[in-house]
Amino acid sequence: MAFASLYMIVFLLLMMIGSVVFARYAQERQENDVIRLYRLAALDRRRNETRSVIRALQEVDDNPETLRILNQALKADLVRIQKLDPGRADIEQEIRQAGAAPAAENKGEKPAGEARGARSDKRTSLSNERDVQRVRQQIVEAMAIIRRLYQANQVRAEQLESTARHLGTLSVVVAVNSAIHMAELALSDSQFGKVPALLRMAEGYLANGPIQGREKAEKLEQIRKLRESLEQARNAGGMRFATE
């Protein structure tokens, strides 16, 4: 009888210990799952932000080094996502695309001289202020991504410096070309009141910005000709009004 009671006590103790161990194991597993899901959500969010930055830059720029570094960051996040969630079939294809994008960019032939400049001006000449602000903010985000890679020793100091210089210039180019382009559109639509402010905006960016030399002189000449066209359009409008 005493032996049976002792057996029962030992059995109950073992059951209690087993329950505690199992509960602890289940809790740790649940905590790990929560951490894994949190990390996946953070990586997915960062992946979407990086893809958005890459798309925005491709609209206005074709610098292979900048796009290569950004795709490098995207690929690294995709690999982390794949390790945390191996069952996601879409990730493998995205990893291949991110790895191939810089190579495809490098293979493309670059137009030379004036043709390249004209193409760049066209791509960086946006039609409204909202698009200008969106693209310039994405350029800031691109710089933040590259700086993060530098802090993680995945980008060299000279790469950080060259891309920072390029992106800073690109941001000003977008602002200047877009202001000039919007002034041209306003002039063609006879919205003469908008033109002076847009031209002053372009001049302000040119005054102390990174655009120098021949390119700066060409932009200032564009602005001068637009002012002349504005004055002529206003005079023509006044003459029509007088004859009526």
Alpha-carbon torsion 113, 210, 119, 98, what sign?
A: positive
CA 233 – CA 25 distance, rounded (Å): 80
Per-residue confidence at 240, pLDDT binned at 50, 70, 90?
Answer: very low
- Residue 22 clears pLDDT 80, i.e. is over it: no
Q: 10 Å Cβ neighbour count for 116?
A: 12
Burial state string for 95-113 with b = 16 or more CB within 10 A and e = fewer than 16: beebeebbeebeeeeeeee
Higher pLDDT, 84 or 187: 187
- Per residue in 25-41, pLDDT (tens digit) is 666 666 666 777 888 88
Sketch the domain layout of the chain as residue ranges: 43-101+118-243
pLDDT of residue 116: 43
Residues 6+ apart with CB under 8 A from 69: 145, 146, 149, 155, 159, 163
Residue 195 pLDDT > 50: yes
| Residue 105, pLDDT above cutoff 50 | no
Mean pLDDT score, 61-76: 91
220 Cβ partners below 8 Å, 6+ apart? 203, 206
Kind and range of the H or E element at 102?
helix 90-107
Q: Within its chain, how far is the Cα of 49 from the centroid? A: 7
Q: Look at residue 154 in the predicted model and tell me its pLDDT.
A: 92
Tens of pLDDT, residues 196-226: 999 999 999 999 889 999 999 999 999 999 9
* pLDDT at res. 88: 77
pLDDT at 27: 63
Higher pLDDT, 211 or 95: 211
pLDDT at residue number 23: 63
pLDDT of residue 224: 96
b/e for 218-231, b at 16 or more Cβ within 10 A?
Answer: ebeebbeebeeebe
Is-contact 123 59, C-beta < 8 A? yes
Q: What does the mean pLDDT of the chain come to?
A: 83
- 130 close to 33: Cβ distance less than 8 angstroms: no
pLDDT for res 157:
94
Prediction pTM value: 0.77
Cβ-based burial of 213 (10 A; exposed 0-12, middle 13-18, buried ≥19): exposed
